[in-house]
Every structure is written in C-alpha cells, then in structure tokens.
Amino acid sequence: MNLLHLLNEFNHVVFLDAVNCDQNPGSLQVFSPEMVQSKKPQFQCSTHGTDLLQIITLAKQLEHAPDKITIIGVQPKDISFGEGLSKKLQDCVDSLVDQAAEVIKTVINDTIHTT
C-alpha cells in the first residue's frame, strides 16, 4: 500500500510484474490497466493480498494516479505462492530484461516528445 502514495509523484509509471495471461511461461505482454480486469476478489482482509490493479484503481479514486500507467506483464510458469523463478524463466530472464528495457525506452521517448 506504500505504493499508493508514491504514484501521484510521477506523470508516467511503468510496472513490471508477474501476470497470468494464459500464455507460455516467459511471454511478455504490455498493456494499460484499462485493458485488463483483476481476477482476484475485490475484498481483501490483508494488505498483502492486494493486487496491482486494485492499488491503481484506488489511486485513481483518490486522485493520486499518474496520467499514464504502463504494465509489463511476464507470464510465470506457476502462480502459486513461492520464491524464486522457474527454470523456464531463469533461462529467458536476459531476453525479458532486454524486452522490458525496450518498452521503457519507448515510454521515455514518448514522454519526452509529448512534453
């Protein structure tokens, strides 16, 4: 939830997160929050169970959201609780970092040319 109070300090925020898009593990998707819907229940009894989309929705309701948000979602092999990366993601992490860097460069470029 600390993230909520940081969002309004920026014009454009890019998140990199594990996202279940029913794709092959290691697949990368780029989207805005408006393009997707959370599959988690709306009511959470724990602040640790809140997902990114719920935080973004709350930030918008409180008028703390940046003008633009981009989410870089990486399909994990397993979405259950645990630590570390699967072997599949470990094998393609360099490629994922390169792909994410290209998205971030595009965001920076777009931001520079629109301000």
Contacts of 35 (CB under 8 A, 6+ apart): none
46: which 2 tokens?
Answer: 């724990």
Per residue in 85-114, pLDDT (tens digit) is 889 899 999 999 999 999 999 988 887 887
Contacts of 97 (CB under 8 A, 6+ apart): none
Residue 92 belongs to domain spanning: 2-114
CATH at 12 = 3.40.50.1450
Q: Domain total for the chain? A: 1
What global pTM score does this model have? Answer: 0.81
Q: Does 76 score more than 70 pLDDT?
A: yes
CA separation for the pair 8, 34 (Å, rounded): 18
Which one-letter amino acid corresponds to residue 107? V
